[in-house]
Structure 1
């Protein structure tokens, strides 16, 4: 009887070992799969990229926004040029590998880089050009010895309701639907006027530090979610579509930045964009597994 039990044990033992080995393999495989899921570096390339967005007010404001600029600011003044040098010195410490600007990628990239190459070789004069593309991006890129600048903006065509815009009266419409009081609870124009006025009293770095503070960027973003979005709810949804169009443009900007990032190198992207873009782009980069977002004020306040 003992011999029989011993024989059965010898027969079962190899199968038991095989079973334990299979379980160990499955556990190891499962663990590796989990690691692949939770570790973003396994998805693409060798490195995550760092990204920083310098939110700016447009030096040569075309006044396309609903708020029209009321206070003067001249970046070409000698005092402002000195302030600009201080700003460039601070941003240069971030040591970006690529500078991305608010200019149409498809239409403007070749033209901007042709100008930049001429500027690098001292054959393109920017002393009369107020735009931040020239005053910040060109000067910073030359200072850092970059070969080129990257245009990453993209238009976003209107995809909402086709209204008779010539006769459409937003205020009258909102009052007729009972939406006016809710959309006008917050006086965002007061915020815009305040920031506009401070451009004439603060130094360049002081003002950019103010507008790049995350709480200020959130407040500006919230205008889309209170003042804009309600218009046409339950009808033509022109407000929601306007916000969607704004998101669409920023998603295209993010897509361009992603496309231009080399994850096999230790990239450090710098985006120079109107401050209104910062909150959404910051969210996209922060949510992405492939970027480490750097707050601009960590350099502006040094």
Structure 2
């Protein structure tokens, strides 16, 4: 792409509660809900019989990305009346993704700008939605390049 520099866009500010604490609380207090949230979610694995391209295709498959995003949204359900265990962590998670979105958009100098955004699969759906809904750029799915 002819880029001369790599720009970091992620942010890992302090959260009031770590994900491990949310999961631990859910295991103890809402194990059925925790199982429901993760039901059917299978993470692609890189193996000797799979090429790196096929691995990246699996990580970027819309069905997988939608299931992953669904899992994150449903974390908000963890907790009880006036006890927002999942939401306390999830608000940090959304802030993190919004900061990535903002940092990414600050890299756009012209309408012809091309940016390769490399991020973990769990961020893909949400940051893509922010970009699409902002209508400030066109998002080209990575599968069109991986085929």
TM-score by length of 2: 0.84
Asked if 1:220 corresponds to 2:68, the answer is yes
Aligned partners of 1:212, 1:290: CA distance in 2, in Å?
22
Kindly indicate whether the alpha-carbon contact (under 8 Å) linking 2:41 and 2:68 is maintained by their aligned counterparts in 1.
no
Q: CA offset at residue 186 of structure 1?
A: 4.7
CA RMSD of aligned residues (A): 2.1
Q: Secondary structure at the match of 1:273?
A: coil
- Give the alignment partner of residue 31 of structure 2, picking from 160, 163, 180: 180
Number of residue pairs aligned between Structure 1 and Structure 2: 141
Aligned partners of 2:63, 2:40: CA distance in 1, in Å?
17
Q: Are residues 187 and 239 of structure 1, via their aligned partners in 2, closer, same or farther at CA, if it must alter by over 3 Å?
A: closer
Which residue in 2 is equivalent to 1:65?
none
Q: Secondary structure at the match of 2:119?
A: strand
Kindly indicate whether the alpha-carbon contact (under 8 Å) linking 1:156 and 1:248 is maintained by their aligned counterparts in 2.
no
Asked if 1:230 corresponds to 2:87, the answer is no
Aligned partners of 2:64, 2:41: CA distance in 1, in Å?
13
Aligned partners of 2:42, 2:143: CA distance in 1, in Å?
20
Aligned pairs for 1:177-256 (under 5 A) are 179-188=30-39, 191-192=42-43, 195-196=44-45, 199-200=46-47, 201-226=49-74, 228-256=75-103
Specify every segment of 5 or more residues in structure 2 that has no aligned partner in the other structure, as ranges: none
Q: Are residues 216 and 189 of structure 1, via their aligned partners in 2, closer, same or farther at CA, if it must alter by over 3 Å?
A: closer
- Give the alignment partner of residue 119 of structure 2, picking from 273, 294, 297: 273
Specify every segment of 5 or more residues in structure 1 that has no aligned partner in the other structure, as ranges: 1-94, 96-143
Asked if 1:289 corresponds to 2:146, the answer is no
- Give the alignment partner of residue 4 of structure 2, picking from 138, 147, 152: 147
4+ residue stretches of structure 1 with deviation over 6 A?
A: none
Aligned partners of 2:78, 2:105: CA distance in 1, in Å?
33
Aligned partners of 2:16, 2:37: CA distance in 1, in Å?
27
Larger Rg: 1
Aligned partners of 2:63, 2:41: CA distance in 1, in Å?
16
Aligned pairs for 1:116-135 (under 5 A) are none
Aligned partners of 2:8, 2:145: CA distance in 1, in Å?
23
Aligned partners of 1:188, 1:245: CA distance in 2, in Å?
24
Q: Secondary structure at the match of 1:148?
A: coil
Higher relative contact order (CA 8 A, sep 6+): 1
